[in-house]
Homo-oligomer: A and B are copies of this chain.
Amino acid sequence: MKNTIRIERAVLNISQAELADRVQVTRQTINAIELEKYAPSAVLAMKIARVFGKKVEEVFELEEGD
């Protein structure tokens, strides 16, 4: 599961901690998803996309293995 979280964070100029705060998870969770250590839940993916003012599909992309 690819994502553009790092880029979208840069657009908003917010830290991983700030994003974590806004979607109510820990900073480590944001870090893990951003580095693609695992894929988020649908709830979290929707919250993250919402912070960025984007659709889920604009932030997250399915890969072959998914």
Does residue A57 face the partner (Cβ distance < 8 Å to B)?
A: yes
- A interface, by DSSP: helix, strand, loop or mixed? helix
Q: Count the copies.
A: 2
Question: What residues of B have a CB within 8 angstroms of the CB of A43 in the complex?
Answer: 1, 39, 62, 66
Q: How many angstroms from the CA of A47 to the CA of B41 in the assembled complex?
A: 13
A49: which B residues are within 8 A, CB to CB? 57
Given B50, B55, B56, which contacts A45 in the complex, CB threshold below 8 Å?
B56
Enumerate chain B residues within 8 angstroms of A47, measured Cβ to Cβ: 62, 66
Residues on B with beta carbons closer than 8 Å to the beta carbon of A50: 62
Which residues of A are interface residues toward B (Cβ below 8 A)?
1, 39-47, 49-50, 55-57, 60, 62, 66
